[in-house]
Structure 1
Amino acid sequence: MQETIHHLSHIDLDGYSCQFIMQYTPYKITNYNANYGAEVKSKLDLILENIRKSKQSALILITDLNLTADESRWLNNEVRKMNDDKLDVKITLLDHHGSGQESAKKYEWYFLDESRCATKIMYDYTKENFEFNEPSWMEKFVNVVNAVDLWKLDEVENFEYGKVCMRLVNETRELNRVMFADQDNNYKLSLLKESTKYIEVDNAPVALDNKIHSIKKEFFKIDEDNTLDNLSTNYIVKLLGDKRDTNTIYYKGYRGFLSYGVGNTSIVGNGFLVAYPEYDFIVDVSYRGAMSLRANFNVSVAQIAKEWANGGGHPNAAGGRIMGFKEQYRYDKVKQQIETIINDKESRASVLEYKKED
C-alpha cells in the first residue's frame, strides 16, 4: 500500500483506540478526530482539502463515527469527483452504531457491525487487510475496550480496566484539540500505550489508576520535574510560540497573538508574553465567543475588549463576548472571524478620524 491514510475517528476511548491499533502498521497515517455533529463534516472537508493539495492516492479511513445519509452521499460524490480527476481515493468506514444502517445498506465502503465495538472491528480488519506488527498484548487491550464500550459487566476484569482507560482519555484535557490537534492526538495515544504496561499485572485497574498522574506528567516533562499544571503550561507556551507565523494578528499597530479554546489565560497568556516579549497582547477566544485578553503593560487590553466586544477589565487583563460568533472546528476559520472584526473596527476608526479632521 503506497497511499496515505487519512484516519478520522471519534474522541472517546473506542475512537482513539482505533487509531492506536493503526500505529502498529507501516503506513503513512494522518490522524483526525471529531465529535458528532458539524465537526464530522468539518474534518472531512479538511481531509479532502489535504488530499487535493497533495495530489496523491489516499485512503479515507473513518472509525467509530456513523455518517448521516446526507454526509455519506456528499462524501461519496466528492471522492467520485476526485477519482474522475485522476486521483486514486478510496473510503473505508468501520462502525458499530445502528444509526448508520441507512448508509451501510447503500455504500459498499460503509461497514457496520453492532456486535463489536469499533476498536474490535478495526483490529480484525487490520489483521485481514493491512501489514500489522501486532504486539503480544494487543488482543487483550482490544477486549478491554470492547468490554467497557459495550458495557459488558460480566467481563469484570476487562470492564474494570476499561473504565480506568476510559477516564484516562476522557479526563485528558490539558491540550486543546483544535489548536493542537496533532499533539493532542499524540498525547492520548501515548497514554494508551502507557496503559498497556499494566494490563497484565495483579489488580491491573488499581495499578493503572495509581499511575495516571505520573504518566501524564512524563509526557510533558522536558527536563526538571514540576507540577502537572506547570509542566503542561510550559509545553503549551512552547506550542503557541511555534505557531507565531500563523497566529499573529495586528490591531492599531499593536502585535497580538490569537489562540482558540486554550483557556487558563491568566497563566498561559502571561507565560506566553514573558517568553515572547515582542508581543503586545494575547487573546484567547472560547468556543462560544468569550474573549480573554492579557497584556504586559504595552497596551490596554481593556480598551481593545471595549472596542471589539463592548467588554472591559483592567489594562493588563480584560474580557468580553463576541456577538454572533460561530463555533469553529478549524483555527483558520476562527482567525477569519476575528480579522473581520479587527478590519471592521479599524475601518470605522479611520472614518471617524477622517470626519473629525474634515
Structure 2
Amino acid sequence: MRVYHLSHTDLDGYSAQIVTNFYFKDIEFFNSNYGKEIDAKFNQIVSLIEESLYQDESKKSLILVTDLNLSLSQCECFEKKAKELNAKILLLDHHQSGLECAKKYPWYLLDSSRCATLITYEFFSQILGEDSDLGEFVKMVNSVDIWLKDDIYFEFGKVCLGLVAGAKEINSVMFTKESREYIFYLLKKAREFMGKDNAHIKLDGATHGLKKEFFIDGDDDTLSNLISKYVVEKLTQDRAKFEINYLDKKGILTYNIGNTSVIGNDFLVANPDIDFFLDVTSRKTMSFRANGNADVSQISKHLVGGGGHINASGGFYAGFKDGYIYEDIRSQIAGLIKTKTESIDESK
C-alpha cells in the first residue's frame, strides 16, 4: 500500500509527516495551507493514484490528511473520489472547526485535546509499535501546538515553531521535495538538543549554523551565497522544467525565488546559453535579469508595461493569479508571452 500524506505547513503539520515517515516506507508527502490549496494538492494526489492504477490495477492507496480541517463540500468530494480510486481516506486533526465533518464522516477523526502530531503518533504506534525517542519529540510538538506553558518542552517547542516558520530558504512551490527535506533536516538536528541544559537557548543560538550545514557542499561561505549556489544547481539540474521562451530568447522562470539579483546573476553566469532570468511573485511583481544576451527593459515593457535597465528590469502583472503548483504559474506566464508575441507576428 502506498501512502499519500497531506499535511499543514507548520511545525505540527511537518512533524506529523516525520511520524509517518518513521512508520512507512512507501509514502509521498504533500503540504498545504487551508482553502483552495487543499483542493489543488488533493488533485495532485488523485492524479498520482490514477497513474499508479494505470500501471498496476491492484495497487492499494491510503490518502492521509493531518493537521488540516476540511469543509463539508471537500469531505463529500474527497470521499467520492477516493471510492472511485478504490483508495482509503483517513483524516487526523484537532481543529474544533471540523466538528460538523467529524460527526458525518467516520474517516474524519477529530480530537481537540491533542495536536495532530500526537494524534498521528498514537494512532500508528498502537498498531506498529512505540518508539521512545520519537515519542519525546511528539510530546514537545504537542506542548507548543496546544500551548502547554508549564510543560518542560514548551520553550524548546517555541524555538522549533520558529525554526519551521523561518525555513523559507528553499521555495516550496518550485522545489517542493527539497523544501520539505530541508525542514525535516532542521527538525532532526533540533532533536539532538533535547535533554540538554537550556536546550531552547542552545538551539536558538545554533540555528544559523544548522541552516548553513544543510547547504554547505565544499567550502564554507555566507548563508546567502550558499543558498544561491544550491538554488542555481537545482535550477540547472532541472532546466527543462523551468525554461520559457520570448521570441528567439531563452529564459528561466522562477516563482518567489527571493534575492533575485544574486540568484539570477549567478544562474546566468553558470548557464551562459540562457538569455534572461524572470522571477514572478505572489505580489504580482516581475523581476527580470540578463547578462548581456537580452534587453530585459524592452521585454518587461512589452509584456507588462515595465522597464528599467538592459540587464535588470521589473514590472507589475496585474492579471497574475497566484497559485500553489509551479506548472500552473508557468502556464500563466507562457500564456502571457504567447499572447504578446503573437501580436508582434501579426503586425509583420
Please confirm whether the aligned pair reaches a TM-score higher than 0.5, indicating the same fold.
Answer: yes
Letter in 2 for 1:250: N
* 1:119–1:145 CA contact under 8 A, matched in 2: yes
Q: How does 1:269-288 map to 2 (within 5 A)?
A: 269-288=264-283
1:200 aligns with 2:195: yes
Partner residue, 1:107: 105
Partner residue, 1:117: 115
Q: How does 1:1-358 map to 2 (within 5 A)?
A: 3-55=1-53, 56-83=59-86, 89-129=87-127, 131=128, 134=131, 136-155=132-151, 157-353=152-348
- Provide the C-alpha distance between the structure 2 equivalents of 1:330 and 1:242, rounded to a whole number of angstroms: 19
- Provide the C-alpha distance between the structure 2 equivalents of 1:207 and 1:301, rounded to a whole number of angstroms: 47
> CA-atom RMSD, angstroms?
1.1
Percent identity, please. Answer: 43
CA pair 345-234 structure 1, distance change in 2 beyond 3 A: same
TM-score, normalisation: structure 1? 0.94
- Shift of the alpha carbon at 1:133? 7.3
* 1:24–1:133 CA contact under 8 A, matched in 2: no
- Count residues with an aligned counterpart: 343
Runs of 4+ in 1 over 2 A off after TM superposition: 131-134
- Shift of the alpha carbon at 1:171? 0.8
- Provide the C-alpha distance between the structure 2 equivalents of 1:145 and 1:53, rounded to a whole number of angstroms: 35
- Shift of the alpha carbon at 1:324? 1.4
- Shift of the alpha carbon at 1:247? 1.3
- Shift of the alpha carbon at 1:239? 1.0
Partner residue, 1:86: none
* 2:243–2:252 CA contact under 8 A, matched in 1: yes
- Shift of the alpha carbon at 1:23? 2.2
- Provide the C-alpha distance between the structure 2 equivalents of 1:162 and 1:251, rounded to a whole number of angstroms: 48
- Provide the C-alpha distance between the structure 2 equivalents of 1:178 and 1:317, rounded to a whole number of angstroms: 24
Q: Residues 7-57 of structure 1: CA distance to partner in whole angstroms, max 9, x if unpaired?
A: 111011110100111221242111111111211111111111111112132
TM-score, normalisation: structure 2? 0.96
Q: SS where residue 24 of structure 1 aligns?
A: helix
- Provide the C-alpha distance between the structure 1 equivalents of 2:149 and 2:318, rounded to a whole number of angstroms: 47
CA pair 132-51 structure 1, distance change in 2 beyond 3 A: farther
* 2:302–2:340 CA contact under 8 A, matched in 1: yes
Unaligned residue ranges in structure 1 (runs of 5+): 84-88, 354-358
Q: SS where residue 35 of structure 1 aligns?
A: coil
* 2:49–2:85 CA contact under 8 A, matched in 1: no
Q: SS where residue 91 of structure 1 aligns?
A: strand
- Provide the C-alpha distance between the structure 2 equivalents of 1:246 and 1:204, rounded to a whole number of angstroms: 42
- Shift of the alpha carbon at 1:132? 5.2
Unaligned residue ranges in structure 2 (runs of 5+): 54-58
- Shift of the alpha carbon at 1:116? 0.2
- Provide the C-alpha distance between the structure 1 equivalents of 2:74 and 2:257, rounded to a whole number of angstroms: 30
Q: Residues 114-153 of structure 1: CA distance to partner in whole angstroms, max 9, x if unpaired?
A: 0000010011012023x4573x322221111111111111
Q: SS where residue 143 of structure 1 aligns?
A: helix
CA pair 18-190 structure 1, distance change in 2 beyond 3 A: same
Letter in 2 for 1:35: N
